[in-house]
Every structure is written in structure tokens, then in C-alpha cells.
Chains A and B, each alone.
Chain A
């Protein structure tokens, strides 16, 4: 662990900030460090973490995805109709459907990015608009409430006390985190994703196949978008077409707060988790301290601004240290 934090200063710093925040809130509010509060904190953060680790993979590979939250809504609808077509299904069928539809949407993004050489932000803004428009048009903005029982039933996975339990989405989050960690840290594909995001030209010269990298990154993002969408229904027990729009930017902010870099090559699962948690705990703390809920976003915006400004200072120092050493990349 110490070794890990030594090479991941961003995560270490975030962990320290988070620890400070937890200590402060525990002292300031008796209801913060209770099983009920912590459980609801985790239950409410689970979906964002699932999406965050998906987005992490895309960011590591040097891309960005704006479309995943809308994709998750599309998955919810398509999944619903697919489940109805097979007579209601169950969790296993649901996971397979949601995952498959999500991966398919991710593959479309990847195909456009790799096939037409369009940069990811353009592609995903286009697919964002296309998916959202089609979804709202096709559903005429109608929500779905009459869902299969298994889908909306609250499943407690770990009981933490009388009124506190971690629900199924938290388990899904744990699986998503573990599998993403496994993919990016323990498989050669994952290390190639880092390399591709870090130095695309170097990776290409070293024989990394770049098109498959895009499909893996956006496919994984799609998978997580789908699973997150499936789990989100379990929490809110309804499907609303425009419920998730806007979440993409919140998740993006949390992931980057967690140390991932726009531009690729850097980022960890732990960082994602901490980034999402920092935002969630800040909001939770403001709530417990009796701050007006209307002020939450303002404080969170300021927190992120402060965080990026501070990490920006380090980067700036690094940049000046690097200048004058730019002998590299000189042409023959």
C-alpha cells in the first residue's frame, strides 16, 4: 500500500483530504458516522462509481465519452422491452441484455472514432445528441413504472445495523471496480491501454493494435453504462428518459478529481472511487450540517475548482522543470 501511494501521489493526496473531511464531519455531526448514513452514502454513490470506472478506461486510453449517461437511459428502455419480449426475465438475463446493449452502443462510438478518425469528443457529442433525441422522440418523454418485480425489488447484500444495509447496486459497484482493476492492472490489454493513452505513437511503433484498443475502451465504457443503468432502475424503481442526462459531466468531474488525466495514460480505480466519494461526502456533510441544499452545488463546484487549481500548480512546476529539456523528438 505504501508503495502504491508512493507512485500515486494524486490518490494519496485525495485520501488525505477525504480522511480530514471524515474526521471533521464525525466531530461536527453525530449522525455522520452512523451505519445508516454510511450505508445510504454508499448506496447513493454506487451508480456513479460504476460509470466512473467505465469512463476511467476511456480516459486512460486518451479519449473522452460524453454519451454514456444517455446511453444508460437508452439501455434501460431497450432492456425493458427486450425483457418483456422474453417474458420478464431475471437478474441474469437483465445483466446480459443491459451489458450487451451497452457494449453495442460503445462499439458504435469506437467504430466512428477508429474508422473515420474523428476525435472522441466530437463523436460522443454527436452520439449524445442522436441517442438523446431518438430516445425522447421514441418514448415521447413517457416514463415506465410497470417494471418486473425482480428489477425493482430492494436486495440487501450486507446488513450494517437495524436500519442500514448495503443494497445490490453496491455489490455491483464492487464487482465493477474489481473487474476494471483487473482489466487495467492485471491484463496485458490494460497495460496496452495505458501505453496507448500515454504515448500513442510509441505504442503504435511497439506494435500495439490501436483499433482494438478503442473498441475495448468504449466497449468497457458501454458495459459499465449498461450495468449502471440496470442498477439505477433498481434504486429509483422507474425508468425516466431524461433522468440521467447531465450525470456525465458530474461523473467526469469526479473521475478527473480522482487523478485520471484528460489526454490519457493516467488514472486508477481507487482514484475514481475516492473522487466520487469526495463529492458525495461533501454533499452529505453539507446536508448534515444543515446547509441549504441549494448551496450544495456551489460548494462542490468550488471544491473541484480548488482541487484542480492545486493540482494545476504541481503540473505547472513540472512543466517548467521539463522545459529546456526538450531535446527529444528532433527530426533527423
Chain B
């Protein structure tokens, strides 16, 4: 039942939001280019696009965080607006569950859920009322959380539920969910999809953003597809297959060939046996062979990054053996691992992969300080410049000046800087944790080609990925990790992508 609240009855029939000609530019980069976006009341709408396609920017425009360039048409529930602030968007009934949740870890669960009732001028906090609001929001969700606990005591999946409850508590009529299932188990995801359906039936429109296309297509009625900041089109979900949706998002015919080859005979560079670390992973066996690309897929929280951290010497296993070229090793820290020939490209390039504020040059040489300095610790300017030049040419990084901050580069070029700094250490094994996150679709092929080239030079590569297709098309075999264990070992030549995806996302 749609909520009618405007005096003009014509507005009742209007869609929840209608946006036209939305353009946003950041420092010369066109993040959105004349995009239209329309969501009906009570509809579950999928907003699809690869990383960097402009999804988040569009959400922020609707939520009033970014202002589009002049000429855009913005309309909420039949009411046109010229300037939209976050407050106005919220008053019109728009709520966003950000991917980073934007919650307050030190405050209680109840306060987080009912936060909108704490914003504004000075009033008394009625803790009882706050609690009631939180309780009823949770009741609509059908979950139970400890309302008095501090939010930072909750595991990440439960915080996600708190974030959803917060949107419900603000009486939203249109909720954006940005990757809401990324950290949920299948049971939790099923429950969330049920909630989405219930909300939709009660007249709340939901815009669903997720890279798990199966669940998106299952729950949505229509899909708006963006690519490189432009609108590809709006499609009925009913007639859409996953493959077709992927093609629309990437703009490529998916005749992408499987590149898998066999390496059973090659010597194992890095192998682990019965590796366990309490609460992270359990009884892991795997072997990376020289020249081989091994994909590692699984849900967030399956223990992939935790395993990588141990292989990189940043955590120690409770049990099991790590062997490098057949020799047992125990890393005290990641410097030992780097010296032994293990390199790790973090999933979080912004916070961990690069020192964003510092220069391209410094980020390129940070792993090789000893090689460019003398015994006393003095850095040679000439050696540093040579090392920088080598990194830039080897990986064909497009830069202005080496002294520019690395944050000025595009995602793809930043990732090339990361790869260059690790290649400078001459690694034997390279762990890539979601290497194309935040890399433009067009630049991804370049990264894949580099990965393949590195493998051909004899480096053993572990390719951790959130997108099963990425591992499927770029790895020689794909390991599936779930709840800390490796539960499957697939050869892309003998399994279909759809089967693999349903195995991983099931």
C-alpha cells in the first residue's frame, strides 16, 4: 500500500524518485554523465555496475551528499527539488545504508538504530522511546540484537542488521542498500532478502546494490545498469540472465576465454599443510606452483584475507607448516616474508596498500629501502631515481611527476604502483587480495595481463577475489573457502561459471 501524503493526488502516482540528466565531475573526471534514474514506489530496484561505474556517486546525489551539475532534474515522490541537502533527502523519505555503514561504534545499538531521533536541536533523550523505536525496527526486520550493548561489541554482520534497522526506524520510503549482503552468511542473506520483500510489499522502495547478481535478480523487478558513469539502460529483471547482466555492466561480450592451464608437474613454490589459526581458518592445505595462478574465492569473513596475512608473516598460525621451495619456514613478521620472497597486495589500497598522501616515488621504493641506501642508512638519490624509473616503465604506469602524491593517480595506475613496489622485491610468491577493487573496468584487463605476465615469469600467484568470474577467467584453478576451510578445488575447464558461482554464493 503506497503511502499517500501529498495534497496533489497526481503526485501519488508519481514514482518514488525521478532523476534526469545527472552529471557529476570530480577534478576533471566525469563520475556521472547525464544519467537518468527512476524508482517506483514499493519497487525493489537493482542498481548494477562494476566498481567505478558511478553507482556510489549516484546514490550520494539522491541522498543529497553530492550536488549534480546544473540542468539536472530531481524529483522525490512527485515533488521536484532544485537543491537537495542530506536533511531534505531524509525528510523526503530517502535513507541510505552506506557500504561503510556510517554507524557509531561507541554508542549503544539502540542509539544507533534510532539515531535520527537524536539529531536536531536540543531535546531530552527519552531512552525508553529510543529503545521502543529500536525494538519496533528490529521487530520489522525479524531479528534480535542486544539493544544496550555498545555497537562495537557486535560482529560485523549484526552491525549490518543494525544499519538496516536504522533506515527502517527513520520511516524511510526509499532505502538504498549498498552491498548489504557482502558480509552476511547465506542464512542471513536469505533473511535479509525476505525483509526486502516484506518492506517492498508494505510500500517501501528498495534500491539494491550488490555484486552477487543471482540474489539481485532474484529479488528485484528492474535493473538500472551504469557503466563508466553513463546509463546503459533500464531492464526488466524477469528477462535478464546473470551473463546478460554482466555483459551489460562490463560492455564486453563474455566470450572471455578461460586461461587455465595445468601445473601439476611444476614444483610447489609456496605450500601449506594443515594450517590453522583459531577463529580464522582451519586445516588449510594448498600449494602454489611456479607460474601458476591459483584463485581463492569465498564470502567475506570466510578467512581468505586472514590466511593471506599468515602467509605474509603478519600473523602466526596455531598449527601446521608453511613451506617455501620445500623448506619449512616460520616468519616472525612480514619483513621476514618479504625477504624470503613473499609479497602481498592488500585488498584495501586506500588504507593499507599505499601511503596515499606521500609521493609516487616514495611509494615505489618503500619495499626496497636497503637496496637504494648504504650501510649507514643514507639513501642514494641516483639509485632511488633509477628504481623509480624502472618501476614506472616496467609496469607502464601513467604518472605526472614522481613527486606527486600517489593519491592523484587513478585506481588502475595506483594498483600498478602497488604491483611495481612488490615486483621490485623479486618475489617468488605473490598474493593478490582483490586486486581490481576500485579499478575502472577498462583498466582491469591491464591488471589481468600483468598478472598473467608475472605468472609466466615463474612467480606463483594466489589471486583472492570477491568476484567468482574474476578468478574463473584468470586463474589456473579456483579454490573455494568457506568458514575458514578450503571446501572445493575447481578446474575452470571442467566446471561452468554458473555452477561455480552457485557453489560459492549458496
Minimum C-beta distance from B294 to chain A (A)? 20
Given the complex of chains A and B, what is the CA–CA distance between A58 and B301 in angstroms?
37
Q: Mark contacts of B464-495 with chain A using CB atoms, 8 A cut-off: 1 yes-contact digit, 0 otherwise.
A: 00000000000000000000000000000000
Closest to B352 in A: A326
Flag if B150 contacts A188 (CB, 8 Å). no
Tell which of B56, B119, B300 touches A207, judged by Cβ atoms closer than 8 Å. B119
> Does B111 sit within 8 A of A, measured CB to CB?
yes
Determine the chain B residues whose CB is within 8 A of the CB of A190 once the complex forms: 125
Indicate whether B215 reaches chain A with its CB closer than 8 angstroms: no
Task: Identify the closest chain A residue to B305 (Cβ).
Answer: A324
Query: Do A328 and B100 have beta carbons less than 8 Å apart?
Result: yes
Q: Is the CB of A199 within 8 A of B103?
A: yes
Q: Which of A266, A320, A323, A324 has the most CB of B within 10 A?
A: A324
A188 pairs with B87, CB closer than 8 A: no
Q: Which residues of A contact B351 (CB under 8 A)?
A: 326, 329
- Asked if A156 lies at the interface with its beta carbon under 8 angstroms from chain B, I say no
Q: Give the interface centre of A201, A323, A327 by most chain B CB atoms within 10 Å.
A: A327
Closest A-chain residue to B108, C-beta based?
Answer: A7
Chain A interface, number of residues (Cβ within 8 angstroms): 35
Interface residues of B in 83-121 (CB under 8 A from A): 86-87, 90, 96, 98-108, 111, 115-121
The CA of A206 and the CA of B150, in the complex, are separated in Å by 19
- Chain B residues within an 8 Å CB radius of A187: 122-125
In the assembled complex, the CB of B167 is this many whole angstroms from the nearest CB of chain A, namely 11
Structural contact, B86 and A195, CB atoms closer than 8 A: no
Contact digits for A193-226, partner B, Cβ 8 Å, 1 yes 0 no: 0110011011111111000000000000000000
- Nearest B residue to A331, CB-CB: B438
Does B213 interact with chain A (Cβ within 8 Å)?
Answer: no
Residues on the A chain within 8 Å of B116, using CB: 206-207
Restricting to B329-359, which residues have a CB under 8 Å from any CB of A? 347-348, 350-352
Q: Which listed residue, B90, B119, B300, touches A327 by the CB 8 Å rule?
A: B300
Measured CA separation A191–B126 after assembly (Å): 12
B305→A206 contact, CB < 8 A: no
Given contacts A205-B65, A327-B300, A330-B99, contact A186 B124 (CB under 8 A): yes
Contact mask for chain B residues 52-73; partner A; CB cutoff 8 A; 1 contact, 0 none: 1111110000010100000000
| Distance between Cα atoms of A207 and B118 in the complex (Å) | 10
Q: Does A325 contact B (CB under 8 A)?
A: yes
Partner of B182, one of A7, A206, A327, A331: A327
* Complex Cα gap A205–B301 (Å): 27
> Are A188 and B118 closer than 8 Å at their CB atoms?
yes
Number of A-B contacts (CB under 8 A): 124
Rounded to whole Å, the gap between the CB of B440 and the closest CB of chain A is 11
- Interface bin, chain B: 35 or more
Query: How far apart are the CA atoms of A41 and B490 in the complex, in Å?
Result: 72
Residues of A with C-beta under 8 A to B96: 205
* Residues on B with beta carbons closer than 8 Å to the beta carbon of A192: 118-119
Expressed in whole angstroms, the Cα–Cα distance for A149 and B351 within the complex equals 61
Q: Nearest chain A CB to B105's CB is how many angstroms away?
A: 6
Residues in B whose Cβ lies below 8 Å from that of A331: 51, 56, 350, 411, 437-438
Q: How far, in angstroms, from A175 to B125 measured CA to CA in the complex?
A: 20
Interface centre among A187, A188, A198, A320 (most CB of B within 10 A): A188
Cβ contact within 8 Å between B99 and A195 = no
Task: Check B300 against A208 for contact (C-beta < 8 Å).
Answer: no
Q: Is B171 an interface residue (CB 8 A)?
A: no
A192 to B119, CA, bound (A): 7
- B51 contacts A323, CB within 8 Å? no
Does B38 have its Cβ within 8 Å of any Cβ on chain A? no
Question: Chain A 263-295 against B: per-residue CB contact (8 Å), 1 yes, 0 no?
Answer: 001100000000000000000000000000000
For the complex, give the distance between the alpha carbons of A7 and B151 in Å: 10
Q: Does B498 belong to the interface (CB within 8 Å)?
A: no
A323 CA to B150 CA, complexed, in Å: 19
* Alpha-carbon distance A193/B267, docked complex (angstroms): 59
Q: Which 5 A-B pairs rank lowest in CB-CB distance, beginning with the nearest?
A: A332-B56, A202-B102, A265-B106, A329-B100, A198-B104
Interface residues of B (CB under 8 A from A): 51-57, 63, 65, 86-87, 90, 96, 98-108, 111, 115-125, 148-150, 156, 182-183, 280, 300-301, 305-306, 309, 315, 347-348, 350-352, 411, 437-438
